[in-house]
Amino acid sequence: MKKTTSEVIRNFAPSWFTITMGTGITAILIYTTPYNFKGCKEIGLVIFAFNCLLFTICTVISVLRYTIYPYTFSKMINHPGQSMFIGTIPMGFATIVNSIVFMFPKEENPWAPNLAFILFFVDVFLMLFSCLVVPFYKMAIHKNSFDKMFATWLLPVVPAVVTAASGSVVAQVLDTEKAKLVILLSYIIWGMGVPLSLCIVAFYYSKTVIHTLPPPEMLLSVFLPLGPLGQGSFGIVNLGIAANKLFAASNQDFVPVELIGQVAHAGGALVGLVLWGFGVFWLVMAIASTIYGLKRGKVAFNIGWWGLTFPTGVFISATNTFAKEFSNN
């Protein structure tokens, strides 16, 4: 049955922003691929433009929904399933922020660093709402049970990991004072997101062991743990790189700032490797679980399949970062 425009607006859910996450990371991976081919930059730019359009459309429809039908916001945030996808908004937005840094070098586009700096703080605001408000609702208002736990519980807190990683990218194109602010804030945000994500991943592992794999319609959610692990790895490594550059150029002499930068760089690489290794385990488990689940029953395509793209993409980004860090070239 064909839906009217008002029905589309009223039923529009935050889960649609998962499309912008997947599209955004695809644009970044194609543009920054180490295996360049003719036209890859142009393809990345086209997908980036398409992602901006998608994000704008989703944002406009969301604003219309909560303006015309204000009761839907309360209904959504009180829903134990729909509210989890609020985190997809700052994560989708972060891909746009990162794309601006990667695709518009400051040497040729002097406006890009300041725009990325401003948008980064917009993303911080969106992230704080997702990471602080939604988990409180999860603890105080939502009705939960261990056997009904899914990897989607990660979605409200992973934005902290993604925003911290975005800060590590933005900081590398800013002047000293702005870079210092973004780096310090990103370390704090990283500390907010990664430990909490690891707690949820541990509970999710226990749930799958005790209560088996998720149902067919949620099957591809097994890839979600790759998100905080891959992006956490990417973020801490790039924060170390940014800190090393910042402190190496610092004129302060009352503390060994150059040594601090070197420690942050080396420590970030080591912590990143540990997270990446944990991610390898979940990648293997996710692939095996998907194959096992597909053999046992028919899985119809649904919007949850977009949950496969972003976690896998950020894990690839972390892998590319390590390749650059440990390359002799």
Q: Determine the pLDDT at residue 54.
A: 97
Has residue 168 been placed in a domain? yes
Q: Determine the pLDDT at residue 305.
A: 76
300-307 long-range CB contacts below 8 Å, 24 or more apart? 300/216, 300/217, 302/217, 303/15, 303/16, 303/18, 303/19, 304/15, 304/18, 304/217, 304/218, 304/220, 304/221, 305/220, 306/18, 306/19, 306/21, 306/22, 307/18, 307/152, 307/220, 307/221, 307/223, 307/224
Q: Determine the pLDDT at residue 115.
A: 97
Has residue 30 been placed in a domain? yes
Has residue 265 been placed in a domain? yes
Has residue 159 been placed in a domain? yes
Query: Which CATH number fits the domain that encloses residue 194?
Result: 1.50.10.150
Mean pLDDT of the chain: 91
Q: What is the length of the chain? A: 329
Has residue 216 been placed in a domain? yes
Mean pLDDT of 307-313: 90
pLDDT bucket at 293, cuts 50 / 70 / 90 = confident
pLDDT at 131 over 60: yes
pLDDT bucket at 329, cuts 50 / 70 / 90 = low
Has residue 85 been placed in a domain? yes
Q: Determine the pLDDT at residue 29.
A: 95
| pLDDT tens sequence across 197-215 | 999 999 999 999 998 888 8
Has residue 329 been placed in a domain? no
How far apart (Å, rounded) are the C-alpha atoms in residues 225 and 198? 9
How far apart (Å, rounded) are the C-alpha atoms in residues 97 and 212? 38
HSE toward the beta carbon, residue 295, CA cutoff 13 A: 6
**Rounded percentage of the chain residues whose pLDDT exceeds 70:** 95
How far apart (Å, rounded) are the C-alpha atoms in residues 107 and 174? 12
Domain total of the chain? 1
| pLDDT tens sequence across 52-95 | 999 999 999 999 999 999 999 999 999 999 999 999 999 999 99
pLDDT bucket at 26, cuts 50 / 70 / 90 = very high
Has residue 140 been placed in a domain? no
**CA 127 vs CA 99, 114, 206: distances in Å:** 18, 20, 27
Q: Determine the pLDDT at residue 14.
A: 94
Domain residue limits at 125: 5-132+145-320
